[in-house]
């Protein structure tokens, strides 16, 4: 085991994704993933692509952006400990948003579809843990976007919310 892998295992041991896993199970999960590093501004996935991987944010931030008439509008951010890219990964529909790196030295743990399929067969418990974390990450994103939308609506229409 390399030092980098051991450090990543220790990091994951402290994350919600792995709170019910042993260090050995975390190390097994790491065998199915790869650690990828990005610079600020890099595009991780683009609009129209079908998700072939799901990502866990190890460090840094990713921005989810919508493009309209050549300009981008940020919809949300995913930070350390959250999964990103799960919607298109699981429903196999083209992405509606671009995933762009929002901070320097962003590290993501990438789980490809091929490796996820192997994980489901070889270690179903680990696949279920990953799936549950995907649901939680989606919930966090939806709640943040909903909260932002409510705040904007209150600002535009006042506290009563009448249009």
Residue 18 inside a domain? The answer is no
Distance in angstroms (rounded) separating the CA atoms of residues 135 and 72: 26
Helix (H) or strand (E) holding 139: helix 124-157
Tally the C-alpha atoms within 13 A of residue 132's C-alpha that lie toward its C-beta: 11
Distance in angstroms (rounded) separating the CA atoms of residues 64 and 56: 14
* Mean pLDDT taken over the chain: 80
Residue 37 inside a domain? The answer is yes
Domain of residue 131: give its range. Answer: 33-157
| pLDDT score of 60 | 93
Distance in angstroms (rounded) separating the CA atoms of residues 36 and 6: 16
pLDDT band at 83 (very low <50, low <70, confident <90, very high): confident
What residues contact 1, with CB distance under 8 A and at least 6 apart?
Answer: 27
Residue 125 inside a domain? The answer is yes
Q: Which of 23-27, 44-48, 58-62, 138-142 has the lowest mean pLDDT?
A: 138-142
Q: How far apart are the first and last CA of the chain?
A: 60
Residue 25 inside a domain? The answer is no
Counting the structural domains of the chain, the total is 1
């Amino acid at each position: 085991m390399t030092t980098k892998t051991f450090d990543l295992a220790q990091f994951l041991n402290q994350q919600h994704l792995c709170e019910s896993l042993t260090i050995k199970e975390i190390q097994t999960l790491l065998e199915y993933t790869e650690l990828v590093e990005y610079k600020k501004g890099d595009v991780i996935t683009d609009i129209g692509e079908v998700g072939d991987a799901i990502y866990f944010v190890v460090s840094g931030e990713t921005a989810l952006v919508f493009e309209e008439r050549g300009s981008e509008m940020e919809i949300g951010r995913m930070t350390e400990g959250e999964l990103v890219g799960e919607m298109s990964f699981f429903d196999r529909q083209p992405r509606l948003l671009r995933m762009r790196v929002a901070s320097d030295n962003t590290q993501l743990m990438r789980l490809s579809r091929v490796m996820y399929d192997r994980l489901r067969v070889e270690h179903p418990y680990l696949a279920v843990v990953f799936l549950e974390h995907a649901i939680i990450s989606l919930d966090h994103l939806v709640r943040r976007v909903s909260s932002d939308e409510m705040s904007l609506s209150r600002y535009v229409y006042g506290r009563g919310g009448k249009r």
